[in-house]
Amino acid sequence: MSRNPSSSQTKNTVYIAVFAAMIAAMGLLPPITLGIIPVPITLQTLGVMLAGALLGPWRGAMSSLVVVVLAIAGLPLLSGGRGGLGVLLGPTGGYLLGWVFGSLVIGALFKYWVLRRTGNTARFLAGLASVVIGGIGVIYLCGVPWTSVVTGLDLGTSLLGSAAFLPGDLFKAVVTTLVALTVHRSYRGLMS
Amino acid sequence: MELPSIRLENVSVRYDDRVALRELSISLNEQRIGVIGANGAGKSTLSRLLNGLVLPTDGTVHIGDLNTRQHSKQIRREVGFVFQNPANQIIMPIVSDDIAFGLKNLSMPKSERHQRVAQTLNELNISHLADRESHTLSGGEQQMVALASVLAMRPQTIIFDEPTTMLDLRNRLAFQREIAKLSQRAIVVTHDLEILEDFERVLVITDGTVAFDGAPAEAIAHYRQWSHA
Amino acid sequence: MIAAANTSYLARIRPGWKFGALLILSIALYLISSWSVLLALFIISIAILLSARVDLRQLRLPLISMAIILSVVFVLLGIQTDWLNALRAVLRLLTMCLLAYAVSLTTKFEDMLELFQQVASPLRLVGGNPAQIALALSMTIRFIPELKKVYVEVREAQHARGLGNNPLAVTVPLVIRSLKIAEETAEALDARGYDSAPSPRQH
């Protein structure tokens, strides 16, 4: 039984579009409130992390890029119904770029490292590390300097400002890892 | 118009863990053919063999002179496919763009596309849906749009894989009527036995083989009996 | 934030020009250190936005949240450096923000997208496929309301089991259903004979 190569390209395009839509949808609904964390967490970055963890580096990054492009072009896709050029040029603009690189890094780590590990604990730890590196490290690395450049605040202050979101993001990283590993178990060939 | 003969020669379809269809050799020439059987029996696989979505592990599938292994592009132009889930066949935000999609791929000039889309919508009495956003359509409307997108390509044959399973009764009946009106050949895989009343030929698929092949009434009786066992 | 049909003179200027002007002005703002010039530019930006005849009610919430963020920035900068510096920073941000809105709200979404695709067209040289990109963008727009529905359904279903606020209980079904939608849609596209031009990349 064979599949022709052009149909894999079609499949990739569809996966990218559907996941981009999922990331957008996750930003459109009210945030989830957990007892422990004071700030209600939006699931949108969760979607960004998942895109990388489930679709791999290239498709995951493309999904995030599609959302960013559509949002900047004017669709109110970012949490809070935001959109337009102002978001890119404003203090949080760097984070948008961070989404693309974040998905890329998470995807690469999952594809070439996490999924090659055996044993549930090893996989979970590798997965969590990957999501933290890509979903928090890389994203903040893109977002924080941009905030400094745009506002004039020094890096330390900008970093401190983003620290408020750290607990929520760490929580999301755990959720992403658990969800991604669960799904990969039922969908063996998702990233080969 | 002479319909090309659909021929399956010694066709088997095997997946890693099971056999979906075994050694099927049949010729399909009628205008209205039905395919019924239990879930997992092989009906969906059979339907997908006919437009090349699935290629046989053994054997060959011919639509006229075209071979599904070598001529998949041409075959997909001549054989349309309507799926079970109405929503996941529409890919454009606006209905008319979705119907025009296949035509755009053929590099049809804009004015001709407009005409073809308008004509097709008219034939199915859904011209009022032209500018609607896809997500606002009901299940029945979506399935009609899916059919329109297929019809716009002017295929000779249309395969339906359980087209009414996800629709309510009213929409089921409406869709039945549309299938009956089609001038194209229709091969319908279905659980909805009422669709098949005026069909010429019905196949009953059981465990990857054709358990019965003949007139609708008898096929249905056979299937009912088998289902009660 | 989709530009409702805008009738001002700004709507008639080509998006490329507006976008380019915005970028140049934004860079210029950072090269200017005179607070009086920045103030003047800020006032001009208000004038431009008002003359654009946009529906200001749309901007109420975003401007309020902007105001909050900017007050924080103002205070922090004032304490860390000096108040004049803080004023400059806030004027810059406000001016950029207002000008960005003036552009976004007077440019049709489709025109913006087309502009981006034109800007990205050199990517064709590294294997990007413009038809695929256009399809991906349209399909995403098509599926956003659909996936929103799925998200709501999943959340409600889990809510009925007392798990409505459990991110795991909500995300796994959402992802699985999204994957199913992707698979079925890819099959339908395949059946429509969609022939994506072969790309040299292997994914």
Do A1 and B15 make contact, defined as CB atoms within 8 angstroms? Answer: yes
Separation of alpha carbons B173 and B179, rounded Å: 10
User: Contacts of residue B15 in chain A, CB cutoff 8 Å?
Assistant: 1
Closest residue of B to C179, CA-based? B88
What is the 8-class DSSP label of residue B202?
E
- The single-letter code of the amino acid at A8 is S
Instruction: Name the H helices within chain A.
Output: 5-28, 44-73, 85-89, 93-112, 120-131, 139-151, 155-163, 166-186
- Inform me whether the C-beta atom of residue A2 falls under 8 Å from chain B C-beta atoms: yes
Average pLDDT over residues A23-46: 78
Please give the CATH architecture assigned to the domain spanning B6-89+156-228: 3-Layer(aba) Sandwich (3.40)
pLDDT tens figures, A13-25: 999 999 999 999 9
Angle, helices A139-151/A155-163, rounded to nearest 10 degrees: 130
Do C181 and B88 make contact, defined as CB atoms within 8 angstroms? Answer: yes
Instruction: Name the H helices within chain B.
Output: 43-49, 72-78, 95-105, 110-123, 139-151, 169-181, 216-228
How far C156 CA lies from chain B's nearest CA (Å)? 20
In whole numbers, what is the pLDDT of chain C averaged over residues? 85
Closest residue of B to A7, CA-based? B53
Whether residue B13 contacts residue B49, with contact meaning beta carbons closer than 8 Å, is answered with: yes
How far C184 CA lies from chain B's nearest CA (Å)? 6
Separation of alpha carbons C158 and B24, rounded Å: 45
Greater model confidence, B156 or A41: B156
Do B14 and A4 make contact, defined as CB atoms within 8 angstroms? Answer: no
Confidence of residue C201 (pLDDT cuts 50, 70, 90): very low
User: Contacts of residue A1 in chain B, CB cutoff 8 Å?
Assistant: 13-15, 54-57
Given a cut of 70, is residue C193 above it in pLDDT? yes
Return the H-helix or E-strand segment holding B14.
strand B6-14
Confidence of residue C196 (pLDDT cuts 50, 70, 90): low
Separation of alpha carbons A24 and C63, rounded Å: 22
Given a cut of 60, is residue C30 above it in pLDDT? yes
CB–CB contacts below 8 A, B to C: 63
pLDDT tens figures, C112-154: 888 888 888 777 777 677 788 889 999 999 999 999 999 999 9
Closest CB to A178: pick one of C85, C112, C168: C168
Predicted TM-score (pTM) of this structure: 0.91
Please choose, from the candidates C80, C96, C107, the residue with its C-alpha nearest in 3D space to the C-alpha of residue C8: C107
| Beta-strand pair B66-67/B58-63 | antiparallel
To test the contact with chain A by mutation, choose from B55, B58, B105 the residue with the greatest count of A C-beta atoms within 10 A, namely B55
- Pair of tokens at residue C90: 């806030």
Exposure string (b/e) for C72-86, b if CB count within 10 Å is 16 or more?
Answer: ebbebbbeeeeeeeb
User: Contacts of residue B89 in chain C, CB cutoff 8 Å?
Assistant: 184-185, 188
What pLDDT does C175 receive? 96
Closest residue of C to A46, CA-based? C171
Instruction: Average the pLDDT over each of A86-100, A112-126, B183-197, C47-61 and give the range with the smallest value.
Output: C47-61
Whether residue A17 contacts residue A66, with contact meaning beta carbons closer than 8 Å, is answered with: yes
pLDDT above 70 coverage of chain C, percent: 93
Average pLDDT over residues A109-114: 95
Q: Is B160 helix (H, G, I), strand (E, B) or coil?
A: strand
Closest residue of A to C72, CA-based? A161
- Pair of tokens at residue C85: 């510096």
Given a cut of 60, is residue C199 above it in pLDDT? no
What pLDDT does A1 receive? 41
Could you tell me which residues come within 8 angstroms of residue A43 by beta carbon, excluding any fewer than 6 positions away?
Answer: A26, A27, A29, A31, A32, A172, C167, C171
Given a cut of 80, is residue A39 above it in pLDDT? no
What residue segments make up the domains of chain B, in order of their start?
A: 6-89+156-228
Which residue shows structure tokens 């349209």? C138
- Pair of tokens at residue A38: 């004071």
Separation of alpha carbons C106 and C7, rounded Å: 8
Given a cut of 70, is residue A37 above it in pLDDT? no
Average pLDDT over residues B113-119: 96
User: Contacts of residue C151 in chain A, CB cutoff 8 Å?
Assistant: 25-26, 29
Could you tell me which residues come within 8 angstroms of residue C113 by beta carbon, excluding any fewer than 6 positions away?
Answer: A69, A70, A73, C137
Residue B36 pairs in a beta bridge with: B204
Give the angle A113-A115-A120 at the CA atoms, nearest 5°: 110
Complex prediction ipTM: 0.93
Confidence of residue B97 (pLDDT cuts 50, 70, 90): very high
> How many CB atoms neighbour CB A30 within 10 A?
9
Please choose, from the candidates A26, C149, C172, the residue with its C-alpha nearest in 3D space to the C-alpha of residue B139: C149
What pLDDT does C52 receive? 84
User: Contacts of residue B55 in chain A, CB cutoff 8 Å?
Assistant: 1-2
Do C77 and A153 make contact, defined as CB atoms within 8 angstroms? Answer: yes
Chain B: touching chains (3 or more CB pairs < 8 Å): A, C
What is the 8-class DSSP label of residue B4?
P
Given a cut of 60, is residue B73 above it in pLDDT? yes
Exposure string (b/e) for B27-47, b if CB count within 10 Å is 16 or more?
Answer: ebebebbbbbbeeebbbbbbb
**What structural domains and CATH numbers belong to chain A?**
5-186 (1.10.1760.20)
Give the angle C180-A104-A56 at the CA atoms, nearest 5°: 35
Closest residue of B to A13, CA-based? B91
To test the contact with chain B by mutation, choose from C110, C179, C189, C192 the residue with the greatest count of B C-beta atoms within 10 A, namely C192
Greater model confidence, A8 or C195: A8
**Chain B 11-30, residues with CB within 8 Å of chain A CB atoms:** 13-15
User: Contacts of residue B14 in chain A, CB cutoff 8 Å?
Assistant: 1
CB–CB contacts below 8 A, A to C: 211
Separation of alpha carbons B113 and A121, rounded Å: 57
